Chain A
């Protein structure tokens, strides 16, 4: 501390000392810069014309400001670096790359990359977002907000597909593919004909049906005056009735504790929880059927599996989702899960006799599309061989 003071003491001006004192008194909860440094950098806080006297912190901590010309930190970005990251698209078309794509190409690309979640016609699978339909539903009790019925700008569609889709394999599509998918989404919303081709040149000519129905936050006019009235404190109403119970719907997730705590219970309310507890007990039994697998590897594999779990379900009662359930997958014939609609590529491989043994699965998981050209699995692959081994060890514990 004494060394610190010796170095900085000359810089400690009278202004700095006053500010420091005022600051410490005013706000004891906030740790700040060393006082001498603060004296050199802090400029007086701007006058506040606030009508909010109760706000203590904002007024007592002087605003930090930058020195003229900045601190000289960082370095200039190269043109290539900015180009690599600056991929955003605006409604005025700023950022759109060269390229084009038509509806028919779009259908192919969409079915290949998007339909497993959004449905072949954008109607959605499960709780994944619907992209089409919903026109004239926005005033109804259950509005259907899709690209066609709700989104105000087409640029948002291009931007979002480009930066975030396909889910789990972002930024993997080429501009022509994105133009084509965007054209197809317009087509399934009946906004263009089937011979339509979208390109940077005609992008701004597409008007979205709901574009005029958004307006700026108006709470300051429509709500704040109403909600700034002094409320009643006593005898405010004659009687009170309950008009709705959450228990009628009962959609609250199970919040209870491990099975040991509840299994001794005879209380009726916890029956549902007991059913869950029984399921939890059933799982380890399945795991013990395979005894040759390293438990540490299985645990690691369970962790790796999280990146698969959005599309593939496992465990007792697992159903097909975006992908087939994976119970018993290790050693099973490819394309054999009942009720799952496989890609042509997997079906062909199944007919040729492919079996998901460790070797085949390892190759598939390392590079799904490289291994199985035409698979619908939109997944980049597992990069590390250790992770693949762990994942297969985990999958091998899952009984049929």
Chain B
């Protein structure tokens, strides 16, 4: 076991290596012995010729060499791409923050292109004053900054009956982790004056699906935010521009985008997204409702099926992410042998409440097949269960809230596959 700094391999590099019929190391060292590395010996175009000026990219974008890093959907999952979902490429990311352009998308009526000048937030129902706020009004409330993960309750939902999808982007990519700038919801509710009988709110989006969810008042007054910035810039249209609800630690469906109305009531509304959907059907035919909190969960992002080991045996960096809707992640265990022996992973980066955490485990790979797993512990003492532990309680039909331990089988060539083990 040694400490080392690893270069993250790309899929492209892996294919080239496969084409050459040999290891990258062998090809590289042969060339080096003959005449040295041409990228050192011969100038590259960017060494010689001028690049674009400061006026070329007023709102910048990634290097063209990162074109393979992209959100992707799974066409067979849904009837059409408008009411559908795509997935964050977790295997291409590091640290804890998800770049805004890579945050997975889920919408039910397409991306609403809202003109902020025409956007209004209405507070009605059991309040002293039914009010309307413009974006300008919202900018005059005190605001806070918090980093929170947003995970769709259906993340990993395709894996209930067994391994289906080869890639952590597809098995775990319905999550992103972003710093929000927003107004505590309780300040906005106080502006309208909640009547004593007000015990629930209904939040509603301005999109073509008119998305609604019921949220208990206790949560609304606790840590919910009405957010207008993500990672410092305006919300992206696909994330609810100009304003969305943030419901820390709770399932992503409740984080209403394009938020236009908050109604205060004295009972839940039981709308489609909390009856037909986002209820957890158990094996006995009964269903849990209001399963809002996201259980602690982790996944190894590298190596993984989309990010194989391409460098051969030797120093290897294993990394992944972990999160909990109930607090922080002080500890993650990893195993290389399918759970016979476990090791403490190294946590790195800020540890925020209800935020994604980053872990690493550096080791010398002996080139033999491995069965990789990670297991998160959250600050309440909850330990991420196995998939079979969950199935014993819930069966295989609940779709939502699958936080079971993920296994990647790595073969001697470094390729990884999504498997389940005994």
Q: Do A and B form a real pair?
A: yes
Residues of A that sit less than 8 Å from B by CB: 29-33, 37, 41, 51-58, 61, 63-66, 70-71, 73-77, 81-82, 85-86, 88-92, 117, 126-128, 138-139, 141, 143, 145, 147, 150-153, 155-156, 159-160, 163-164, 167-168, 170-171, 213-219, 222-224, 226-237, 239-253, 255-258, 261-262, 264-267, 270, 306-307, 309-311
CB distance from A260 to the nearest CB of B (A): 11
Q: Nearest A residue to B352 by beta-carbon distance?
A: A57
Bound CA–CA A173/B256 (angstroms): 24
Interface SS majority for chain B: loop
**Segment from B41-49, B238-246, B285-293 that makes contact with A:** B285-293
Give me 12 other A-B pairs in contact (C-beta within 8 A), A151-B275, A167-B83, A258-B67 excluded. A32-B144, A55-B328, A73-B137, A74-B131, A91-B269, A126-B79, A138-B287, A214-B287, A242-B421, A246-B166, A248-B163, A252-B167
Q: Nearest A residue to B73 by beta-carbon distance?
A: A253
Partner of A159, one of B140, B271, B389: B271
Bound CA–CA A227/B403 (angstroms): 12
- Assess A234 versus B270: contact at CB under 8 Å? Given A57-B352, A227-B383, A266-B19: no
* Chain A neighbourhood of B190, CB < 8 A: 65-66, 70
CB distance from A34 to the nearest CB of B (A): 11
* Chain B neighbourhood of A117, CB < 8 A: 79
Cβ–Cβ contact A256 & B11, under 8 A: yes
Cβ–Cβ contact A270 & B15, under 8 A: yes
* Chain A neighbourhood of B79, CB < 8 A: 117, 126-128, 310
Cβ–Cβ contact B208 & A240, under 8 A: no
CB distance from A78 to the nearest CB of B (A): 9
Q: Nearest A residue to B331 by beta-carbon distance?
A: A54
* Chain B neighbourhood of A228, CB < 8 A: 380-383
Q: Nearest A residue to B380 by beta-carbon distance?
A: A52
- Assess A153 versus B275: contact at CB under 8 Å? Given A53-B379, A243-B420, A267-B15: yes
Cβ–Cβ contact A74 & B124, under 8 A: no
Residues of B that sit less than 8 Å from A by CB: 11-12, 15, 18-19, 67-68, 72-76, 78-83, 108-110, 122-125, 129-134, 137, 140-147, 162-167, 169-170, 184, 186-187, 190-193, 202, 204, 208-210, 212, 223, 260-261, 263, 265, 267, 269-272, 275-276, 279, 281, 283-293, 295, 305-306, 326-328, 330, 333, 337-342, 350-353, 371, 375, 379-385, 389, 393, 396-397, 409, 417-422
Cβ–Cβ contact B397 & A170, under 8 A: no
Cβ–Cβ contact A240 & B210, under 8 A: no
Bound CA–CA A248/B389 (angstroms): 23
Partner of A77, one of B80, B131, B292, B350: B131
- Assess A54 versus B276: contact at CB under 8 Å? Given A64-B187, A255-B72: no
Cβ–Cβ contact B422 & A243, under 8 A: yes
Query: Can you list 30 residue pairs at the A/B interface with Cβ under 8 Å?
Result: A30-B146, A33-B142, A54-B351, A55-B327, A57-B352, A57-B353, A63-B184, A64-B184, A65-B190, A71-B191, A77-B132, A88-B202, A88-B212, A91-B270, A145-B281, A153-B270, A159-B271, A164-B209, A170-B210, A213-B286, A216-B290, A224-B382, A229-B383, A242-B419, A243-B419, A246-B163, A251-B74, A253-B73, A307-B82, A309-B82
CB distance from A44 to the nearest CB of B (A): 16
